[in-house]
Structure 1
Amino acid sequence: MTGRTVDNSANVGFVATEHWSWALAGHAGEIRARTWPNPRAHWLAVLVHGYGEHIGRYQHVADALIEAGAVVIGNDHVGHGESAGERVLFRDFESVVDDLHEVIVQTDAEHRNLPIVLIGHSLGGMIATRYAQRHRDELTALVLSGPVLGSWKALDLLKYEEIPEDPIDVSTLSRDPGVGSAYAADPLVWHGPFRRRTLWAIEKCLGTIDAHGPFGDDLPALWLHGGEDELVPIAETRTGIDRVRGLGFEEIEYPGARHEIFNETNSKQVLGDVVSFVHRVLG
């Protein structure tokens, strides 16, 4: 672990928990990670961000989890945010899972006795699901927010000889227009087209998840999804969910909510549902 600094400059205007910024070697260069400390923590929350974004967008999520008794960690995936690598290029998601595992291992050395709850959003939900299949014994619970599973309409772009410029309609992120405006203005967010190699890697990972099946009846899991999610439609996700869900599985659909439910107008309700689930699991 190298390069630890304290930074809360992105949170001007409200009181937010300070975080440590640190670095480690990933499969394709330096990976940047954050730890939001909590000296009274009794569980470890691991945040896994989605495609094209970065872990810095999860400050308010970390704050809510810290208030609920967690120490929180998360990293920018390869080619995302402040991590090294060609922008938004994923060659193989098994290596991305390896990076995430190394982040958890290095953090767990400091929080060795805390139960781990993995929380993945969007493409991060796909990564978190594959992580749960490979490292089930490490996890106490899994939370999936609008996860890419089963099928994903973005893969239709592979039919084009040249991937078209098709920027995200920011209005599909949240009913709060401020969320879309902040996303569009964020220099660490990717605003360009998909990489063909990334789409191939996503398609391969979805197939791998389907082939490996349920991550176990003894892993409590919570699936959260916006009922009006146009970026990752709930019907597409359900086909994948049905292949991995075990007996300890719960789901909540939020009518009217769009893709980024942690940034939705009812985000306090969503985060409250996450906290309630974790507290039930922890007993």
Structure 2
Amino acid sequence: MNLKAKNTTDYMNSKDGTKLYYEKSIVDNPKATIIIIHGVCEHQGRYNYVVDKLNDKNYNVYRFDYRGHGKSDGKKAHIDDFNDVIDDTDAMVNIVKADEKNTKIFILGHSFGGFIAVAYGIKHKGKVDGFIVSSPTASDEAGILELFRKGTDKNEYVPNNLANLLCSDKKVCKEYMEDVMVHKEMTIGFVQEMIKGTKWIKRNISKFNYPVVLIHGKNDQIISYLDTEYLFEQMASKDKKLKIYQGMQHELLNEVIKDRVMEDLTQWIDERV
């Protein structure tokens, strides 16, 4: 916990009334406000390091658990429609816009949270000021999603076996497996909606025109860095940057070079506030 930030927790309602948990870490005289969107099967609590670094750089941070994750309502690790988590994000954005009227707002999304971030940018024009997209679930070049999509029952659970592929810091992988808030399985329905969502993004990515920085580890075995290169090439954004980190895996924000990654990201934000 960062001592220079005031930390509070609360709940909000999504468009369909689903109750969602969120936290905010507020600093004096903030340069901007960052909204963090976590990945599938995890929760916002895994981003304490990122929040501390952002607070240190004088950014406010809001983070939330989208439906079926963390302390939020909803069937565990399940979504009926990928648009629902975009609506969850919009609920968070609306609260931030009401609370933080005098700061720019950036969305930072990792993995499936990166998918949500990009999809949000396509669907909602002009609501925020930029995006930081980390290892987004934007396609399935690595074939991981198809491995999970066996069976036809959307409510059937399949194991989450990705822990050892997260990053090169095995302490992080061990903590992930021991974290009771991390789901060790997800529904086939969730996987099907992820696949549907990635196809939707491919059809619509040329409509994304926000300032954006995309980052990916070249050794990511969960999602191929080639997917992120494709997104970068197809985005209409005039202000866009791509950074591929050699030798790094999926969770760049937990990698052994995480300090360098955060320095790169905060420098990018600093140049736009």
TM-score (norm 2): 0.91
Equivalent of residue 144 in structure 2, options 134, 149, 154: 154
Shift of 1:272: 0.4
- Tell me if structure 2 keeps the 8 A contact 1:48–1:128: yes
Indicate yes or no: 2:189 matched with 1:200.
no
Matches within 5 A, 1:80-99: 80-99=69-88
Equivalent of residue 178 in structure 1, options 165, 168, 171: 171
The secondary structure found in structure 1 opposite 2:260 is helix
The structure-2 alpha-carbon separation of the partners of 1:222 and 1:55, relative to structure 1 and needing over 3 Å to count, comes to same
Q: Tell me the equivalent position of 2:36.
A: 47
Q: Tell me the equivalent position of 2:214.
A: 223
Looking at structure 2, the residues matched to 80 and 21 of structure 1 have their Cα atoms a distance apart, in angstroms, of 16
- Tell me if structure 2 keeps the 8 A contact 1:28–1:85: no
Give the partner amino acid of 2:246: P
The structure-2 alpha-carbon separation of the partners of 1:171 and 1:151, relative to structure 1 and needing over 3 Å to count, comes to closer
Indicate yes or no: 2:234 matched with 1:243.
yes
Shift of 1:102: 1.1
The structure-2 alpha-carbon separation of the partners of 1:112 and 1:215, relative to structure 1 and needing over 3 Å to count, comes to farther
**Which is worse superposed, 175-184 or 102-111?**
102-111
Q: Deviations over 1:33-87 (max 9, x none)?
A: 0101112212110101000000011111011111112110011010001101111
Looking at structure 2, the residues matched to 257 and 131 of structure 1 have their Cα atoms a distance apart, in angstroms, of 27
Give the partner amino acid of 1:61: V
Indicate yes or no: 2:6 matched with 1:23.
no
Aligned residues between the structures: 268
Give the partner amino acid of 1:212: N
Moved over 6 A (4+): none
Give the partner amino acid of 2:23: R
Matches within 5 A, 1:1-283: 17=5, 19-26=7-14, 27=16, 29-151=18-140, 153-157=143-147, 160-161=150-151, 165-192=158-185, 194-217=186-209, 219-282=210-273
Looking at structure 1, the residues matched to 115 and 54 of structure 2 have their Cα atoms a distance apart, in angstroms, of 21
Looking at structure 2, the residues matched to 233 and 21 of structure 1 have their Cα atoms a distance apart, in angstroms, of 35
The structure-2 alpha-carbon separation of the partners of 1:156 and 1:267, relative to structure 1 and needing over 3 Å to count, comes to same
- Tell me if structure 2 keeps the 8 A contact 1:151–1:237: no
Looking at structure 2, the residues matched to 156 and 52 of structure 1 have their Cα atoms a distance apart, in angstroms, of 17
- Tell me if structure 2 keeps the 8 A contact 1:136–1:215: no
Shift of 1:106: 1.5
Q: Deviations over 1:172-225 (max 9, x none)?
A: 212111101110100000112x312112211221222222232444x2110111
The structure-2 alpha-carbon separation of the partners of 1:177 and 1:155, relative to structure 1 and needing over 3 Å to count, comes to closer
The secondary structure found in structure 2 opposite 1:113 is coil
TM-score (norm 1): 0.88
The secondary structure found in structure 2 opposite 1:74 is strand
The secondary structure found in structure 2 opposite 1:79 is coil
**Which is worse superposed, 142-151 or 123-132?**
142-151
- Tell me if structure 2 keeps the 8 A contact 1:28–1:78: no
Q: Deviations over 1:138-190 (max 9, x none)?
A: 22111101111133523313652377844324232121111011101000001
Over aligned residues, Cα RMSD in angstroms? 2.1
Looking at structure 2, the residues matched to 229 and 75 of structure 1 have their Cα atoms a distance apart, in angstroms, of 25
- Tell me if structure 2 keeps the 8 A contact 1:149–1:241: no
Give the partner amino acid of 2:170: P
**Which is worse superposed, 70-79 or 35-44?**
35-44
- Tell me if structure 1 keeps the 8 A contact 2:159–2:184: no
Give the partner amino acid of 2:105: I
Runs (5+) with no aligned partner, structure 2: none
The secondary structure found in structure 1 opposite 2:91 is helix
